[in-house]
Each structure stands twice: as structure tokens, then as C-alpha cells.
A and B are shown apart, each in its own frame.
Chain A
Amino acid sequence: MELSTLSLKELSDALREKTVSARELTGAFLERINRFNPELNAFVTVAEEEALAAADEADRRLARGEGVTPLTGIPVAVADTICTKGIKTTCASRILENFIPPYDATAVSRLKEAGAVIIAKTNTDEFGAGTTTGYSAFGPARNPWDKDREPGGDGGAAAVAAGLVPLAVSFDSGGSLRRAAAFCGVTGLKPAYGSVSRYGLAALAPSLEQIGPLARQVDDLALLYQVLAGPDPLDATSLPAAGPGRDGAEVTGPAAGSKGLRIGLPREYFAGEQLQAAVKERVLAAAGILAEKGGEQVDLTLPSTGYALAAHILLAAAEASSSLARYDGVRYGYRSPEATDIDLLYKKTRTEGFGSEAKRRILLGTLVLSAECYNDYYLNAQKVRALVIREFKEAFTKCDLILTPVTPGAPGRAGGERSPLLQYQDEYYTAGANLAGLAGLSLPCGLVDGLPVGVQLLAPAGREGLLFWAARILEEATGRLSPPSFQE
């Protein structure tokens, strides 16, 4: 049986029917990881021993038939910015190269409670600051469709696409998870802000980021999301159990079925020169599929879209400069051997420990928060944020979901020399959802020159179910993608 292409439901059924044991399943995926990861570099750490122990525990659960969930015995990869108790968590940074957290992130606890097997930690840009994994201290991950291409800002999507794991959990502070899903041809969700606990996610931009699921197909994505989402007393910005924003886990369409679906197409997301014609065509084709099923396309305008990216750049940097200040070599992590006094301890440790993009954001953020720039940059960015929220809010009175591209083109060459500004502009289509706290689902909508591109569906908090529902319609119409070289 070729396990690597089975859906979560198929794997789960196989485990329950004992056609395969959790240990065998984990072993099979470990084998694929060992075979293919050297060329993909999708993982920073493979937790073989811990995974097999967890698989054995899952087998005992399955044997007893108690507390079995759809995730019991299923291997899941977790981004290396998410803390895993007893498993090295480096955030793809030299400054944490040997850090072993004594605690689990809430997302990880929830996975473990469901019986999932944490199998590996995925590669990302250092602390998630970047869009291509090019800033990982452990080398970039590769795109399984073309190893010379970047895989988006997260190795988890590459791993899922190549069938090295059935599911992955990553995070998104400006679009890295959604871009990675689009570029690797899988589905990914950045949940609405507050839906999934951030406890245990090494912070980069705490007001912008969310942990989210990656999967090969929409049903699996929805299932994984349901496990991750929920209130958490350890995260004060986690939405409470009841109330607006907390009823989005179930896959539900609009009351009138697809007939009632209003699909918003914001002009600003389709107008720019940078959007490649072929991508635009695939994305509009996706809108067309939903319209064909009876939905209605609504022309929208979100005039602040350009300002939104500017505000996102400033806020992400401001928050990063503060979030990354704690890495000083005092209590854990890397300490420079040249640290002979406390001043050198800080300077040498941080200088040697951080890579260039982390430093760039720290410098920019330090500037943005300085007394002389605070009003002009930080406060104005937060005001732009208010504007963006208002525009989205208005938009959602006219439509149920917004449909946009994820990226302007297909994945670029890995290691290409692009200026930081150009890289920040990679998130033009995705940053708005982070600023406004919306849910954003990315799914494949076709190939351009043999490389996958994606469509993004946006909805307000609490309407994730609608996103899954619409995404499933698109998935049925367009079919799923698998990178050719990893099919056996």
C-alpha cells in the first residue's frame, strides 16, 4: 500500500481497521523522510525516537479503542518555531540551535491529546522572518516540483506535497504558510486571529501571526484545523469558547447553498502590473467555477491595499525587534565564546546568533519604535490597520468571501538575489489578512509552466467553515496536485 498519497480519512480508517499499525505508518513516513529529505531540506529535526514512542502509544490507544480520534497514530510535522517538549526547537536560527523546550506549545498539546505523532520539525526562515526559507540558518528548503525553486516560507508545505508527512502545522505572520501552500500545490489555512492559541509559538509578530494547518486536501485541512483551534487560558489573545469567531470549525456553506454564495473580487488584487497574466487567469478561473455553481461574483474595492503592505512591513518589524530582544545568551540558546563581559555577551551572541533578515527587522523595528519615529511610522501604521479593517468589514457586507491570488507569479528561483523590499512585497496579497485578523485559505488553482499557483479565499473570524466549503467545491473541480518526482 502506498501510504504517502492517502488522505487523512483513508489513513485513519486503515489504522482503525488494523490494516496498518501506527508504528508501521510512522516507520513508513520516516523512511520517506530519510530518503527524500536530503534533497528537500524540509526538516530541521527528525524526531525518530519520540515519533516511534508516540506511535506505540497510539497503537495502544487503538487497541483499547479508547480516545481514538481521526488523528490518532497520524504523523504530523510541526514548524520549528513551535515549541515541542523534549524535541529541539531552533526556530531555524543559530541562536537557538540547541534549545530543547521544557514545554509544549498548546497546538502541540492538542495534537498529542488527539493522538497525533509529532514526527519532525519543519524548516522555516529564521524565526519565520522571510518568504522563501532562504533565511534558515540550516539552508533553504526546496520546492518538490522543481528543486531549483523556492518552496514558499515554510518547509511543511514542501514535505506535505512530497508525501513525507500527511499533515503539517506551521504559522503565518504575513503569508508564509499560504505562499508555501500555493507554491507546493497543497492547502493551507491561516486561521482568523485568536482562533488557534499562540502559546508556544516563538513570537515574531505577535499581533499578526497565527498557527495554522497544511494538508494535501481540504477535508484533511478542516480536520486538522478543528484539532488546533479552541480557546486557551495560556493565551490572553485567544478567542473565548463561545461568541463571534468561534463557530467556524464546521464545514458549512451559506444558507442558500452555493446559489447564495457571494464571491468578492477586490480590484486592487487583480489590477497591478506585477500579477502575471497566467496566474490571474487561473485565479479568475477559480472564481468562475464558484460562479458556475450558482455563486455570484461581486466587484469590490479595497483602496488601502497598497498602504496595508506598507503598514505590515513596519508593524512586523516593530514587533520583531521586541520579540527577538530576549535572545541574549543568558538563560538558554547560543552564547558567544567571546562573551567576556556582559556587553560583549549581548553583542557577540546576537551578532553571531542572528542571520541577516532577523537583523534587518530588528534594526528597522528599533527605528520604528524610537521616540522620533513612533508617531510617524508606528502609530500611522496602526491607523492604516484600522482603515484596512474597516474596508474589509464593509466588503464583507457585500460578499461572503473574498477571492484573490496568493502570489503574483509561480515560485521563483531559490537563492535568487532579490532586494529585501521585493521580498516584503511578496506578501502583497496575503498581508491584509494578518493585519485585519481574517482567516485566509490557500489552495492550488492550477499550474503555470509546470509549477503550482494558488488561490486565496478570505473570510472573517468564525467563517472558516465557509472557506472549507468553498475550497472543497474548487478542489472537486480542479483536482489535487502531486509533484511528479515523488509519486511512486
Chain B
Amino acid sequence: MNLEKEKVKHLAELARLELGEEEAAEFSRQLSEVLAYAGKVREAPVAGMEPVIHLLSLANVFREDEVEPSLPREEALANAPHREEGFFRVPRILEEN
């Protein structure tokens, strides 16, 4: 599969990355090469195989509905790039709502 530069830019948009023209072109080249190789999974003799969604045969792994201590607020916020009165602060959200 050839991954066009425009497609790479679209993927970058979805993943919230900015790419320069050159960078996008380079990723396009590199990933096209990777996909040419990895794309062979489509030709693998997998008829009738169920996809492996979970590696282990575990099921129903639960925790009981019991409250455990949360982080002290100071620790929860200690790594925040910007905080205000116990909240995490972010720049304005340009959204309709």
C-alpha cells in the first residue's frame, strides 16, 4: 500500500501532530515501505482463524466494589504543567458548546 503524503498529513491531524512538508514526505516514503512489507498479513493463510483479541485465556477478572485511598491532591497535581485552585488548567477550548 502506498501511503500518500496527503494521507500522512490527515493521519497526523487525527493524532494531533503537526508535520512539515518534508517530514510528511519522508514519513510517506518510510511508511509506504513498511506497509509494502507488513501488508503481507493480507495474504497470509488465515482463512478460518479467529483473531487473537486476548492472548491469555483469562476472563472475568474483577476488583470488588471497594473504595481505596486516592492520591493526596498535592500529589495528583504535582506534575501539572498549569494548575489553579486544585484544578488542572488548560487554555481555552474553542468549541461550539
Tell me the A residues contacting B by CB distance below 8 Å: 98-100, 102, 193-194, 207, 233, 236-237, 239-240, 304, 306-307, 310-311, 313-314, 321, 325, 328-335, 339-348, 350-351, 354, 359-360, 362-364, 366-367, 370, 376-377, 379-387, 389-390, 419-421, 424-425, 437
Contacts and interface: CB of A to CB of B under 8 A. Distances in A.
A98 B46 contact: no
Contact of A310 (B12, B30, B39, B61): B39
B67 interface: no
A239 B76 CA distance: 30
26 contacts: A100-B79, A240-B58, A311-B44, A313-B37, A332-B80, A339-B91, A341-B92, A342-B90, A342-B92, A343-B94, A351-B18, A359-B17, A359-B27, A364-B34, A366-B11, A377-B38, A383-B41, A383-B44, A383-B46, A383-B50, A383-B51, A386-B52, A387-B49, A389-B52, A420-B31, A420-B33
A194 B33 contact: no
B30 A421 contact: yes
Nearest to B91: A341
Contacts of B54: 207, 237
B90 to A, nearest CB: 6
B56 A385 contact: no
A231 to B, nearest CB: 10
A94 B27 CA distance: 21
A445 B82 CA distance: 52
A357 B19 CA distance: 14
A14 B76 CA distance: 41
Nearest to A344: B91
Interface residues of B, number: 52
Nearest to A385: B52
A383 B63 contact: no
Interface of B: 3, 7-8, 11-12, 14-19, 27, 30-31, 33-35, 37-42, 44-46, 49-56, 58, 61, 63, 71, 75-76, 78-82, 88, 90-95
Nearest to A362: B15
Most chain A beta-carbon neighbours within 10 Å: one of B31, B41, B45, B81? B41
Contacts of B93: 341-342
A364 B31 contact: yes
A382 B52 contact: yes
B61 A236 contact: yes
Contacts of A359: 17, 27
Contacts of A329: 81
A233 B71 contact: no
A367 B3 contact: yes
Contacts of B44: 304, 307, 310-311, 380, 383-384, 387
A112 to B, nearest CB: 18
Contacts of A328: 16
B15 A366 contact: yes
B79 A387 contact: no
Contact of A306 (B40, B42, B51, B75): B40
Contacts of A381: 38, 41
B30 A332 contact: no
A348 B38 contact: no
Contacts of B27: 359-360, 363
A340 B18 contact: no
Given A307-B40, A341-B94, A377-B39, A321 B15 contact: yes
A98 B79 CA distance: 8
A206 to B, nearest CB: 10
A314 B41 contact: yes
B15 A325 contact: yes
Most chain B beta-carbon neighbours within 10 Å: one of A306, A340, A364? A364
B51 A382 contact: yes
Contact of A363 (B11, B42, B94): B11
Nearest to B46: A383
Given A304-B44, A330-B90, A343-B94, A237 B53 contact: no
A347 B88 contact: no
Contacts of A102: 71, 75-76, 78-79
Given A194-B55, A348-B18, 16 more contacts: A194-B56, A304-B44, A307-B41, A331-B88, A335-B81, A340-B91, A342-B90, A342-B92, A350-B16, A351-B17, A351-B18, A363-B8, A370-B14, A377-B38, A384-B44, A437-B56
Given A330-B90, A387-B45, A310 B37 contact: yes
Contacts of A362: 15, 17
B91 A421 contact: no
Most chain B beta-carbon neighbours within 10 Å: one of A328, A342, A389? A342
Contacts of A311: 38, 41, 44
